[in-house]
């Protein structure tokens, strides 16, 4: 296992992060705890959850699993989504965050959270109020570092600027969806993170399982996450594109050449990419977990990386197309 600093901090995390969104639902508590312990035994130290995952059950399971190994773990959770019936049970008001962190601490059986993250932008609460509250949580010792997730480039830059101007703690990381079949962050967010030294923690690094190679045609599958009638990022029509099947074909071709699985090749591509700190992988079973762990300890060749870059690249768009035309160098 390799370790990398997260953004503009001295915090060291393993180059894979264990995601726990399925814990307590698709993955039993017993198997979830076993998976966490195996991850720690591999040398992994970075675990990500959220207060909304399985209505808090994920945090509870993580808390049980790490209570005797807390000092080994960089523990990350998130706040923002609706967790109750009342109007203040959602968002980033000072009230919501202060109550949310106490609820997460109780479920996680700990007195501090290493990385507390905003789950998605809140258009209602002024970001100044939110950042001041997060800064107070760091001063209190209940939170060590802060990050964000699913922010647009301007939202991240506005947050960083306010933190600098007001003297508040700043985000050290962002969690975007990013994979070979979801490279929208290449437009602006990743270059911003490189410029401002913000760690990037991609979620859905296997495209929700699409890059595992088990989906072979545009027909809606009868198995897996894409068969569950989900909308948005896990709606089948958003993944079953000709370009994405071409990407999977290239992944499978490379996997066969180097005796790896498609999932391992897809994760390793991310591990080799500049600016990526720690992809967050999930696993429903211990078998899937072991397969994903096989993505570390080796590196794709430059030729294979280039081939995957080319087949998955976004179209060159304005203003990047215009800017590149006039790029200056010494």
Instruction: State the catalytic residues.
Output: 53
Q: What is the largest CA-CA distance in the chain?
A: 59
How far apart, in Å, are the Cα atoms of 303 and each of 142, 269, 271, 307?
Answer: 46, 12, 15, 6
Distance between CA atoms of 83 and 9, rounded to whole angstroms?
31
Quick check: 171 and 206 in contact, CB under 8 A? no
Q: How many residues comprise the chain?
A: 330
């Amino acid at each position: 296992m390799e370790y990398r600093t997260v953004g503009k901090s001295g915090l060291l995390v393993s180059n894979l992060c264990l995601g726990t969104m399925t814990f307590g639902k698709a993955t039993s508590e017993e198997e979830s705890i076993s998976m966490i312990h195996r991850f720690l035994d591999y040398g992994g130290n970075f675990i990500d959850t959220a207060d909304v995952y399985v209505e808090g059950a994920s945090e509870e399971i993580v808390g049980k699993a790490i209570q005797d190994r807390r000092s080994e773990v960089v523990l990350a959770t998130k706040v923002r989504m609706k967790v109750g019936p009342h109007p203040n049970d959602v968002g980033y008001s000072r009230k919501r965050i202060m109550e949310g962190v106490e609820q997460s601490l109780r479920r996680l059986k700990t007195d501090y959270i290493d990385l507390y993250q905003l789950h998605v932008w809140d258009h209602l609460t002024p970001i100044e109020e939110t950042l001041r509250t997060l800064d107070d949580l760091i001063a209190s010792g209940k939170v060590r570092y802060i990050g964000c997730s699913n922010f647009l480039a301007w939202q991240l830059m506005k947050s960083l600027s306010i933190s600098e101007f007001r003297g508040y703690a700043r985000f050290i990381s962002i969690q975007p969806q990013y994979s070979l079949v979801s490279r929208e962050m290449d437009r602006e967010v990743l270059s911003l993170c490189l410029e401002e030294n913000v760690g990037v923690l991609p979620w859905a690094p296997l495209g929700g399982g699409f890059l595992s190679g088990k989906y072979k045609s545009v027909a809606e599958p009868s198995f897996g996450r894409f068969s569950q009638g989900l909308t948005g990022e896990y709606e089948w029509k958003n993944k079953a594109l000709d370009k994405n099947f071409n990407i999977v074909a290239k992944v499978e071709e490379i996997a066969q050449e180097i005796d790896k699985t498609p999932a391992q090749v897809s994760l390793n591509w991310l591990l080799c990419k500049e600016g990526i700190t720690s992809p967050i992988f999930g696993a429903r079973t211990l078998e899937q977990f072991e397969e994903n762990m096989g993505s570390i300890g080796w590196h794709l060749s430059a030729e294979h990386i280039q081939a995957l870059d080319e087949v998955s690249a976004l179209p060159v768009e304005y203003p990047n197309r215009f800017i590149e035309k006039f790029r200056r160098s010494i």
